[in-house]
């Protein structure tokens, strides 16, 4: 079984989280996950980049601790690590999501 590395809750670094969310493509992915209550495969996100670039962005989000990725057949399902994020950096995710919505309604 293939596995993917995820940082533990205490290992999340604010640098990495803010850097990850500063990119518009990654923020779009993260905000889509905030909105939907169920996991989503990578291909279901409509991002204006190629497959390899999207793969890179998912990896950055995962290594920052923002998403959790699990293999599911040929797909990878992406879930927001909301509990971990809220515990480590309270209010941050909500604020970013709200800000994104205010700017791009």
By CB under 7 A, the residues from 5 to 64 that bind DNA are 19, 22-23, 25-26, 41-43, 49-60
**Nearer of residues 33 and 76 to a second copy, judged by Cβ:** 33
Strand-strand pairing, 40-41 and 75-80 = antiparallel
HEC-encoded secondary structure of the chain: CCCCCCCCHHHCCHHHHHHHHHCHHHHHHHHHHHHCCCCEEHHHCCCCCCHHHHHHHHHHHHHHCCEEEEEECCEEEEEECHHHHHHHCCCHHHHHHHHHHHHCC
Number of residues binding to DNA, judged by CB under 7 A: 28
Tell me if 41 contacts a second copy by CB under 8 A: no
15 binds, among a second copy, DNA, none (CB under 5 to 8 A by kind): a second copy
**Residue 23, phi then psi, degrees to nearest 5:** -80, 130
Site size toward a second copy, by CB under 8 A: 23
Output the smallest distance, CB 20 to DNA, in A.
8
76 binds, among DNA, a second copy, none (CB under 5 to 8 A by kind): DNA
Binding site for a second copy (CB under 8 A): 13-15, 17-19, 21-22, 24, 27, 88-92, 94-96, 98-100, 102-103
């Amino acid at each position: 079984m293939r596995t993917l590395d995820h940082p533990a809750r205490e290992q999340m670094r604010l640098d990495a989280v803010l850097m990850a969310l500063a990119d518009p493509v990654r923020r779009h992915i993260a905000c889509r996950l905030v909105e939907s209550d169920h996991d989503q495969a990578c291909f279901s996100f409509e991002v204006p980049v190629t497959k390899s670039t999207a793969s890179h962005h998912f990896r950055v989000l995962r290594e920052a601790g923002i998403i959790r990725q699990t293999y599911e057949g040929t797909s990878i399902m992406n879930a927001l690590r909301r509990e971990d994020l809220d515990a480590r950096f309270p209010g941050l995710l909500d604020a970013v999501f709200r800000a994104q919505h205010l700017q791009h309604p």
